[in-house]
């Protein structure tokens, strides 16, 4: 930002936009609004209603600090400590994947399946991260019982905090993949958004993702794009109750291969497209 301190919230916002545009961040306008609002302790709407409000030196310093972090491509959600998912605010911090809007499709599909069953359901979320899927399902599916699993104790710490924040009752388990749930269930719904980016694509990722989000949440192990498909269609599908459903989020090019492997299990399977028209979720019925 330029040397002379801004005098009003509006001036601060304009400077923030310019600064982030110069730094080449993804969406300078929106990001400036979110970060300036956060620095002033306001919502975005409140910020727009108070653009003429004078700003204090301490507020300018705070905004500068947040903008410098964003200028280094730290995700906005890590800086503000929060990201909205399915209409609820989820706490996020480094060490946990930032919930993505395309994952809401998986929640929509799980809700549709639960509605079809017409009774309270049991579900398992494999690789729960911030808990965005599990907490949302626990809130949206009345009377449901859910298990949320992750291998990362840091992710589970944040997921537990999110469950508490939203008064969602869930069982949290630290363990390695669907195999860690053997002996439990069966579940009406098994859902997962596993790490699906091939490590060979690391260099092509945006710096926000590549340099800040946890590798454990992003990359498929051993550069094997089928690793999680095999585990979820094998031991994962084994956790699904008769009449239940497995839902797996996919990388944007994984659809055809995922469907091929799913059909090889002999179970009815289909792909669902996200709002961008990409094959995003694999559904397998048991
Ligand atoms: C793509 S993130 C999804 C997080 C969250 N469900 C979401 O949709 O935002 C994948 C998650 O799987 C977890 N994970 C990675 N390997 C795992 C394993 N072997 N067993 C269990 N969880 C694992 C990661 O820690 C991460 O939280």
- Both structure tokens of 261: 């492997």
Contact (Cβ atoms closer than 8 angstroms) between residue 192 and residue 254: no
> Do the domain assignments include residue 232?
yes
* 119, 177: one domain: yes
Whichever domain contains 171, its CATH number is: 3.40.50.150
Decide if pLDDT at 283 tops 70: yes
Burial 232-244, CB ≥16 within 10 A → b, else e: bbebbbbbbbeeb
pLDDT digits (tens, 9 = 90+) for 110-155: 999 999 999 999 999 999 999 999 999 999 999 999 999 999 999 9
Distance from the alpha carbon of residue 35 to the mean position of ligand 1, in angstroms: 27
Query: End of a domain among 18, 37, 72?
Result: 72
Contact (Cβ atoms closer than 8 angstroms) between residue 242 and residue 211: no
pLDDT computed for residue 169 by the predictor: 97
Decide if pLDDT at 2 tops 80: no
- Both structure tokens of 214: 């946890």
Alpha carbon distance, N-terminus to C-terminus of the chain? 57
Q: How many domains does the chain have?
A: 2
> Do the domain assignments include residue 147?
yes
Distance from the alpha carbon of residue 175 to the mean position of ligand 1, in angstroms: 11
Distance from the alpha carbon of residue 5 to the mean position of ligand 1, in angstroms: 43
pLDDT computed for residue 46 by the predictor: 97
Ligand 1, atom 24, residue with closest C-alpha: 217
Ligand 1, atom 17, residue with closest C-alpha: 151
pTM of the model: 0.95
Q: Best mutation site among 93, 127, 156 for ligand 1, i.e. most ligand atoms within 8 A of its Cβ?
A: 127
Contact (Cβ atoms closer than 8 angstroms) between residue 181 and residue 239: yes
Q: Best mutation site among 98, 125, 129 for ligand 1, i.e. most ligand atoms within 8 A of its Cβ?
A: 129
* 40, 139: one domain: no
* 100, 212: one domain: yes
* 114, 64: one domain: no
* 119, 162: one domain: yes
* 98, 66: one domain: no
Pick the more confident residue, 223 or 48.
48
**Confidence at 47, pLDDT banded by 50, 70, 90:** very high
* 173, 35: one domain: no
> Do the domain assignments include residue 1?
no
What does the mean pLDDT of the chain come to?
A: 96
Domain that holds residue 160: 94-285
- Both structure tokens of 161: 């905090």
* 163, 57: one domain: no
> Do the domain assignments include residue 275?
yes
Q: Dihedrals φ, ψ of 193, to 5°?
A: -115, 85
DSSP per position, 156-168: HHHHHHHHHHTT-
Contacts of 228 (CB under 8 A, 6+ apart): 192, 194, 195, 196, 220, 248
* 187, 156: one domain: yes
Ligand 1, atom 26, residue with closest C-alpha: 217
Residues with CB under 6 A from ligand 1: 97, 99, 103, 127-130, 132-133, 149-152, 155, 176-177, 193-195, 216-217
> Do the domain assignments include residue 109?
yes
Sign of the four-CA dihedral 30, 34, 35, 37: positive
What's the whole-number mean pLDDT along residues 248-255?
95
pLDDT computed for residue 3 by the predictor: 62
* 128, 188: one domain: yes
pLDDT computed for residue 173 by the predictor: 98
Nearest residue to 128 (alpha-carbon basis) of 166, 88, 188, 178:
178
Q: Output DSSP code: residue 222.
A: G
* 66, 184: one domain: no
CA atoms within 13 A on the CB side of 68: 8
Distance from the alpha carbon of residue 268 to the mean position of ligand 1, in angstroms: 26
For residue 106, the ligand 1 atom closest to its alpha carbon is 8
Determine how β-strand 145-150 pairs with β-strand 122-126.
Answer: parallel
Q: Best mutation site among 103, 130, 151, 254 for ligand 1, i.e. most ligand atoms within 8 A of its Cβ?
A: 151
> Do the domain assignments include residue 41?
yes
* 54, 103: one domain: no
Contact (Cβ atoms closer than 8 angstroms) between residue 123 and residue 144: yes
Please report, to the nearest 10 degrees, the dihedral formed by the alpha carbons of residues 232, 238, 244, 246 taken in order: 0
């Amino acid at each position: 930002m330029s040397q002379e301190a801004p005098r009003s919230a509006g001036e601060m916002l304009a400077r923030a936009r310019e600064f982030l545009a110069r730094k080449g961040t993804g969406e300078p306008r929106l990001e400036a609004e979110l970060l300036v609002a956060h620095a002033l302790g306001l919502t975005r709407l409140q910020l727009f209603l108070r653009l003429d409000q004078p700003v204090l030196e301490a507020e300018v310093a705070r905004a500068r600090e947040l903008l410098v972090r964003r200028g280094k491509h730290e995700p906005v959600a890590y800086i503000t400590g929060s990201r909205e998912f399915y209409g609820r605010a989820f706490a996020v911090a480094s060490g946990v994947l930032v919930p993505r809007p395309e994952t809401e499709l998986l929640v929509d599909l799980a809700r549709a399946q639960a509605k079809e069953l017409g009774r309270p359901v049991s579900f398992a979320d494999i690789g729960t991260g911030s808990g965005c899927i599990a907490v949302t399902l626990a809130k949206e599916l009345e009377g449901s019982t859910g298990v949320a699993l992750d291998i990362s104790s840091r992710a589970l710490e944040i997921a537990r905090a999110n469950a508490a924040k939203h008064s969602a009752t869930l069982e949290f388990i630290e363990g390695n993949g669907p195999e860690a749930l053997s002996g439990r269930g069966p579940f009406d719904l098994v859902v997962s958004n596993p790490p699906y980016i091939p490590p060979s694509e690391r260099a092509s990722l945006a710096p926000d993702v590549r340099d800040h989000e946890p590798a454990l949440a992003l990359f498929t192990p051993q550069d094997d794009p089928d690793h999680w498909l095999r585990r979820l269609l094998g031991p994962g599908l084994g956790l699904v109750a008769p009449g239940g459903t497995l839902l797996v989020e996919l990388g944007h090019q994984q659809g055809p291969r995922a469907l091929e492997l799913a059909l090889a299990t002999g179970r009815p399977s289909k792909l669902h497209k996200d709002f961008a028209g990409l094959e995003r979720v694999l559904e397998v019925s048991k």
